[in-house]
Amino acid sequence: MTRIIADISVSVDGFVTGPDPGPHNGLGTGGEALHAWAFSDDPDDRRHLREGTARSGAVVLGRRLFDLVDGPEGWDDTTGYGAGEVGKPAFVVVTSSPPDSVRLTDLDWTFVTTGLSDAVHAARERAEAASRRSGRDLDVVLMGGGALIGSALDAGLVDMLTLHLAPVVLGAGTPLSTGGAPRTLVQKSVKSTSTATHLTYDVL
């Protein structure tokens, strides 16, 4: 069965970027510490990254995050989604208007202009198609940014929430949550490594 999984790194004080994020500073000041686990040599971090990306049949992201990863300082063969770990899933971008051009033309991009729910539906269709091709269940992963994941949680679109809790206090930045509807979480797993605590919850 295809699940909708929100997956994001967060600081101890609840921020998914540091202060002043922008086109040339996507994670904000000090925000690189949030993703240290993804570049760690710790075998448990590597296993968590490998397992997480291997389950990805399709990935949903917002337009601001797309502009960062597709920008001149964005992804390449060594820093893209699951680089060195997994094949390339389909990517679905929620946007008010598609970009005029795409730098990362080797990736499968779909731009949805009719809202987050339609984007998740499109991603589910792609993940289910990938599941049929591979013969195993693959999921839709919402990789962010924080506003997209917060909106998806508020809309009841998320089945599972995975947080990578980085041992850093940023003091300011982009919060994971700005309020919204309360949600009950059921803890499924906690895995501590040298660089993060990986927390997985079912969302009720």
Mean pLDDT by 10 residues, the chain (204 residues): 96 95 88 93 90 92 94 85 72 97 94 98 97 95 93 95 97 88 92 95 96
Rounded CA separation 77/104 (Å)? 10
Q: Which CATH architecture has domain 4-19+28-203?
A: 3-Layer(aba) Sandwich (3.40)
Q: Where are the domains positioned within the chain?
A: 4-19+28-203
Rounded CA separation 199/105 (Å)? 33
Rounded CA separation 181/129 (Å)? 32
pLDDT of the residue at 25 = 85
Rounded CA separation 192/55 (Å)? 21
pLDDT of the residue at 80 = 80
pLDDT of the residue at 180 = 77
What Cα–Cα distance (Å) separates residue 73 from each residue in 26, 104, 172, 198? 9, 12, 24, 27
